[in-house]
Structure 1
Amino acid sequence: MYNLKIFLQPLALLSLLVLTSCGSNNKETSEQSSQVNESPIVKIAQVSSRPVAQIHEYTGTIEPEIKNNIAPQSPIRIDKIYVEVGDQVRKGQKLVQMDAANLKQLELQLENQKTEFNRIDELYKVGGVSKSEWDAAKTTLDVSQTSFSNLLENTSLVSPINGVVSARNYDNGDLYNGSTPVLVVEQINPVKLFINVSESFYSKVEKGASVDIKLDVYPDELFKGTISLVYPTIDPITRTFIVEVKLNNANQKVRPGMFARAILNYGTKDHVVVPDLAIVKQSGSGDRYVFVYKDGKVSYNKVELGRRMGDEYELLSGVENNSQVVIAGQSRIFNGVEVQLAQE
């Protein structure tokens, strides 16, 4: 009897260990199954369509209204330059005096021809010369007068516009070689810029329309411009057309070469607007997506973004009006998965 008791005790202990182990395994299996079956938790937001201003931004470079290269027609030595870069000049103001030796010689020839023509003219009046001789003398005088006037313009160089000297390429005594102008004068009131606009907006761009202009050099200021010219043709390669915008610049604060952003407003359109938290960027591409929640599941919708407005995005396509979109928990979900909604 004693020996049987000794034999049964280890057997009972072994049975207890087996039962304990099985219970533990069943509990772990149950917990794992619960974790597998548990749906991801997401937070959603109701979105809707509303009027959105169709504002588009275009970049360009400020250019002068007029740019004149001041130079003679042929190589000649420069006698004196009267202005420096940055000087304001008036229309008709003398800027450069070229060497006048040829001009003086031509002036003497012109005076002699005037005297000769006057003599022939008096003879013609009394029948001393023929009409053909009078015509020949008159033609010679006219040609000399034209040559003198042309040389005078190319010896004494004046500004054709009111503007500012933006470049000086020679010094007094240099020989003008014809490769670059002696001076460059630019009219900078007004100034202008050219932008390339998509052909889809061709019917919406009108001459005289107001344009907001931002300059990086003046980040806190907004300038006002006006559409002054709409080019009549579309570039077949870029599918854009050129628009010229003029900007009043009475204080000459805006200068040619500045980087500018022109903002055109094409009215409003009703588009769905979503929180920026809803936008998901597709890895490895520039595509954007939004998870849309419906009937306990989410769908992965590719969207086309419009304007960013603070912490919201305008959607041009991809999400229907009055949809519910996921704004938190996107990293744990995929297309078609069942989800749970986070408790507020």
Structure 2
Amino acid sequence: MNKTAKTILISVIILGLIAFIVYPKVKKEVTEEENSPVPQSSQALEVNAVVAQSQKLDNDLRVTGSLTSNESVVLKPEVSGRVIQINFEEGQRVKKGQLLIALDASEVRAEIDKLNFTKKLNEDNEYRQKQLLKKEAISQEEYETALTTLNTTLAEIRVREVQLQKHLIRAPFDGIAGLRKVSPGSYISSSDELVTVYSINPIKIDFSVPGKYAAQVNEGDKLQFQVDGYENELFKGSIYAIEPQIDPSTRSISIRATSANKENKLLPGQFAKIRLTISTFQEAILIPTEAVIPELNSKKVFVSKNGKVETREIETGIRMSNNIQVTSGLNNGDTVITTGILQLRTGMPVNLNLIPLNE
């Protein structure tokens, strides 16, 4: 065997050995590839979904406001004088007309006593003049002079009695007395504050809403609100007055409501979180907000029908914290997909995990 033939023989033997070693591995890889699962795109995607159902929906407007007293007044004296009596306890209920503070009025009373003596003298003189006039012993003019003197005295007494009442500070309405700002013996003038009286049952709620809701808010509308200190309690009230103009600086309209406050839980100055229902839909379809896909000029959702994905173009209405109202494009009972939105394509099979609608 020559050298060339020997070289060829050795090459063939080496190639045979390589084929013997490599073939089983290649065959195994081909077999594994043939037995591998179908591509991911052909598998049903696991998604969450909710069933769209009609339900009652309140269109609530949430705003903030402040509580104010039904009535409140800072009592000040009309005359100067020295405080001789304080007839109330701070923080206690007072009745309309109740004497709260008395000022020294001894001088006015002395003047009234003096005028009463003058009145008696003038009454006697008027009586005598009347009897003489009947006998035509005096003229009509003389009698009228005596009568005028008597009437003048009576008028002066009434003036002094009014002055006397100004020394007695009384409650203008039923309410609660605040903290007094004077003490017995204090000399006060007409500019000094004595005490504030509050009427807080019912209590008022002042708030504003954007002007665009002006046509939807009416007197008598009901509202609910919460205040600090009673976070777990929901108070109720009703609108009784609406400002007849929109504030040009804020473009909002001022509203005032009242609420019963028999237990005095609500106090003037408290911050209120208000929920005002401006309209109600008896049959509204709600879906989770994350299910809605915004597009350039429309919105759409994915629904599942017979295990396959379909696309629906929708129109929406009221948006809430978690859900949104669908006004068209969905029917009662449609299954709306809420997860895997980026992976979904029309016609794709899906496995549904139905979840309840989160309120």
TM-score range, shorter chain: 0.5 to 0.7
- Asked whether the 8 Å contact 1:306–1:316 carries over to 2, the reply is no
Distance, in Å, in 2 between the alignment partners of 1:3 and 1:81 is 134
Q: Which residue of 2 aligns with 1:329?
A: 340
What runs of 5+ residues in structure 1 fail to find an aligned partner? 283-288
Matched, 1:234 2:239: no
Q: What's the counterpart of residue 341 of structure 1?
A: 350
Give the aligned length: 323
Taking the aligned partners of 2:247 and 2:208, their CA distance within structure 1 comes to 10
Residue 6 (structure 2) pairs with residue 6 (structure 1)? no
Aligned-residue identity in percent: 19
Q: 1:19 to 1:337 in 2, by over 3 A?
A: farther
Q: Is the 8 A contact 1:45 1:325 kept in 2?
A: yes
Tell me which residue corresponds to 1:243: 255
Q: CA deviation at 1:169?
A: 2.7
Q: CA RMSD in A?
A: 5.1
| Counterpart for residue 172 of structure 1 | 184
Instruction: Report the 3-state secondary structure (helix = DSSP H, G, I; strand = E; otherwise coil) of the residue aligned with 2:244.
Output: coil
Equivalent-residue separation in structure 2 for 1:217 and 1:290 (angstroms): 44
How does the TM-score come out when normalised to structure 2?
0.64
- Alignment of 1:94 with 2:96, yes or no, is no
Alignment partner, residue 60 of structure 1: 65
Query: 2: CA distance between counterparts of 1:306 and 1:60?
Result: 22
**Range moving further from structure 2, 68-77 or 36-45:** 36-45
Larger radius of gyration: 2
Q: Which residue of 1 aligns with 2:325?
A: 315
Match of 2:197 among 180, 185, 196: 185
Equivalent-residue separation in structure 2 for 1:257 and 1:303 (angstroms): 39
Change (3 A) 1:84 1:244: same
Structure 2 residue aligned with 1:306: 319
Unaligned runs of 5+ in 2: 130-137, 354-359
Where do 1:44-123 residues align within 5 Å? 44-47=49-52, 50-73=55-78, 76-98=81-103, 100=104, 103-109=105-111, 115=118
Give the C-alpha shift of residue 163 in structure 1.
1.0
Cα distance per residue 1:112-151 (max 9 Å; x no partner): 56739975985998745997xx59x94x9857854x4554
Query: Which residue of 276, 298, 302 maps to 1:292?
Result: 302
> How does 1:122-201 map onto structure 2 within 5 Å?
127=141, 138=152, 142=155, 145-146=158-159, 148-149=160-161, 151-176=163-188, 181-201=193-213
Contact 1:271 1:316 in 2 (8 A): yes
Summarize deviations over 1:264-316 as a string: whole Å, max 9, x none.
46333543311x3745799xxxxxx87435885768989664346xxx72426
- 1: CA distance, partners of 2:188 / 2:343: 74
Q: CA deviation at 1:159?
A: 0.6
**Conservation of the 8 A alpha-carbon contact between 1:68 and 1:184:** yes
Q: Which amino acid aligns with 1:341?
A: V
* Partner amino acid, structure 2, of 1:272: I
Partners of 1:126 and 1:256 lie apart in 2 by 65
**Residues 80 and 229 of structure 1: is their aligned pair in 2 closer, same or farther, counting only changes over 3 Å?**
same
Sort the Cα spacing of 1:248 and 1:296 in 2 relative to 1 into closer, same or farther, 3 A. Answer: closer
**Distance in 2 between the 1:118 and 1:9 partners?**
162
CA distance in structure 1 between the aligned counterparts of 2:234 and 2:48, rounded to whole angstroms: 40
Give the CA deviation at 1:52: 2.2
Contact 1:52 1:314 in 2 (8 A): no
Contact 1:278/1:325 (8 A) holds in 2: no
Cα distance in 1, alignment partners of residues 18 and 109 from structure 2: 134
What letter corresponds to residue 161 of structure 1 in structure 2?
A: F
SS in 1 for 2:164: helix
Q: How many angstroms apart in 2 are the aligned matches of 1:337 and 1:172? A: 87
Does the 8 A contact of 2:289 with 2:324 survive in 1? no
Q: Decide whether the 8 Å contact of 1:75 with 1:178 is kept in 2.
A: yes
Q: Aligned pair in 2 of structure 1 residues 125, 204: CA closer, same or farther (>3 Å)?
A: farther
Match in the other structure for 1:285: none
Shift of 1:80: 3.8
